[in-house]
């Protein structure tokens, strides 16, 4: 019943981050393919609007955003741990910087014409055009326009030598002998660049970095099994969302358990999810909603990078 179901597509760097975390923890999981562009009706039946990739489902609990998914995996499968209390701030700061800044730079860099040609060689011109159009809409309404190429180059030229320097003492992973959250957050943007054909030369001057990329790749994806989207929706319908402690702090937040709210990312892909707050923690919150296909589900989000607004006179569907 507690099986891990990942909704994702092969080309997604953030999905690769989670696939490798499954490998790191030696986990078996169910793999549901979702479309690379909208519409994504089966995913939206579970999330209620959130369209980004990937999404983790455990029964009727739906976890959005890899920052939260990583913490959920550590909670459900503690060893080997991705986070440590001893490095709580550096874990957060480093993974936030890498997932946002390094990822944005990698996307801009890899989406130069030669990179697109290599990375999307398996797609027809019509599919490539559909992807370009979709991603223009994806950024509308958010506050994170595509990073300009000069900025992306500056960022890469600052980050890559530092990664090389941090690995130069022959440590296997960025923080020492075991892979941790910073490794996974640093890896997926560079994985994207590696797939950008001739543009991957930007990684060539860094032998320690390349060795580390190989070690990260060798972690693998654990044991995936293919599952159809319809089956995942059936699983959600048949399951009860996990028990929620029902905590909130209305004085501090201005909203609390029982309120009808809309939750949306603040950066890009800002489609809101409407639901009834069931739990508000310092670093995550959850809303309950009822879907005609998936039944009662609880959708979980990180607090950081998401906005919560009250909704009047609408039911959580």
Ligand X SMILES: N[C@@H](CCC(=O)N[C@@H](CS)C(=O)NCC(=O)O)C(=O)O
Give the binding site for ligand X (CB under 6 A).
12-14, 51-53, 65-67, 99, 138, 269
Q: How far is the CB of 67 from ligand X (least distance, A)?
A: 5
HSE of 110, CA atoms in CB hemisphere, 13 A: 24
Gap between the Cα atoms of 305 and 284, Å rounded:
11
Q: How far is the CB of 6 from ligand X (least distance, A)?
A: 12
Non-local (6+) Cβ contacts of 24 within 8 A are 80, 82, 179, 184, 219
Between residues 240 and 283, which has the closer beta carbon with respect to ligand X?
283
Non-local (6+) Cβ contacts of 272 within 8 A are 49, 262, 263, 264, 309
Q: How far is the CB of 50 from ligand X (least distance, A)?
A: 9
Kindly list the distances between the CA atom of residue 218 and the CA atoms of 20, 46, 106, 215, in Å, as whole numbers in the listed order. 9, 32, 21, 5
Between residues 47 and 262, which has the closer beta carbon with respect to ligand X?
47
Gap between the Cα atoms of 291 and 273, Å rounded:
12
Q: How far is the CB of 243 from ligand X (least distance, A)?
A: 25
Between residues 71 and 257, which has the closer beta carbon with respect to ligand X?
71
Gap between the Cα atoms of 62 and 284, Å rounded:
13
Between residues 267 and 296, which has the closer beta carbon with respect to ligand X?
267
Between residues 47 and 53, which has the closer beta carbon with respect to ligand X?
53
Between residues 7 and 167, which has the closer beta carbon with respect to ligand X?
7
* Beta-strand relationship, 223-226 and 28-33: parallel
* Beta-strand relationship, 295-302 and 61-64: parallel
Q: How far is the CB of 27 from ligand X (least distance, A)?
A: 18
Q: How far is the CB of 65 from ligand X (least distance, A)?
A: 4
Q: How far is the CB of 70 from ligand X (least distance, A)?
A: 9
Q: How far is the CB of 238 from ligand X (least distance, A)?
A: 26
* Beta-strand relationship, 28-33 and 306-310: unpaired
Between residues 106 and 280, which has the closer beta carbon with respect to ligand X?
106
Gap between the Cα atoms of 264 and 305, Å rounded:
9
Contact 208, 251 (CB under 8 A): no
Kindly list the distances between the CA atom of residue 235 and the CA atoms of 6, 65, 158, in Å, as whole numbers in the listed order. 13, 21, 46
Between residues 67 and 167, which has the closer beta carbon with respect to ligand X?
67
Contact 229, 40 (CB under 8 A): no
Contact 76, 2 (CB under 8 A): yes
């Amino acid at each position: 019943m507690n099986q891990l179901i990942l909704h994702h597509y092969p080309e997604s760097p953030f999905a690769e981050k989670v696939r490798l975390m499954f490998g790191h923890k030696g986990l078996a999981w169910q793999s549901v393919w979702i479309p690379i562009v909208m519409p994504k009706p089966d995913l939206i039946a579970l999330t209620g609007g959130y369209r980004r990739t990937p999404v983790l489902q455990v029964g009727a609990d739906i976890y959005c955003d890899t920052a939260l998914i990583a913490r959920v995996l550590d909670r459900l499968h503690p060893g080997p741990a991705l986070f440590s209390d001893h490095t709580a701030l550096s874990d957060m700061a480093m993974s936030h910087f890498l997932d946002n800044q390094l990822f944005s730079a990698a996307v801009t860099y890899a989406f130069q014409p030669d990179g697109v040609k290599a990375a999307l060689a398996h797609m027809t011109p019509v599919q490539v055009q559909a992807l370009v159009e979709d991603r223009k809409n994806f950024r509308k309404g958010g506050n994170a326009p595509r990073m300009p190429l000069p900025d992306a180059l500056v960022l890469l030229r600052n980050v890559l030598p530092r990664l090389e320097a941090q690995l130069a003492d022959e440590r296997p992973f960025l923080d020492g002998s075991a892979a941790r959250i910073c490794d996974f957050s640093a890896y997926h943007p560079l994985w994207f660049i590696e797939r950008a054909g001739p543009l991957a030369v930007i990684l060539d001057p860094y032998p320690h970095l390349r060795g580390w990329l190989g070690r990260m790749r060798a972690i693998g994806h654990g044991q995936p099994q293919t599952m159809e989207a319809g089956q995942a929706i059936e699983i959600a319908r048949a399951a009860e969302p996990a028990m929620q402690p029902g905590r909130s702090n209305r004085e501090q937040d201005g909203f609390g358990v029982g309120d009808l709210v809309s939750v949306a990312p603040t950066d890009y892909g800002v489609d809101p999810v409407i639901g009834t707050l069931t739990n508000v923690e310092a670093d995550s919150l959850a809303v309950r909603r009822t879907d005609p296909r998936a039944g009662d589900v609880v959708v979980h989000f990180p607090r950081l990078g998401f906005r919560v607004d009250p909704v009047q006179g609408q039911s959580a569907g």
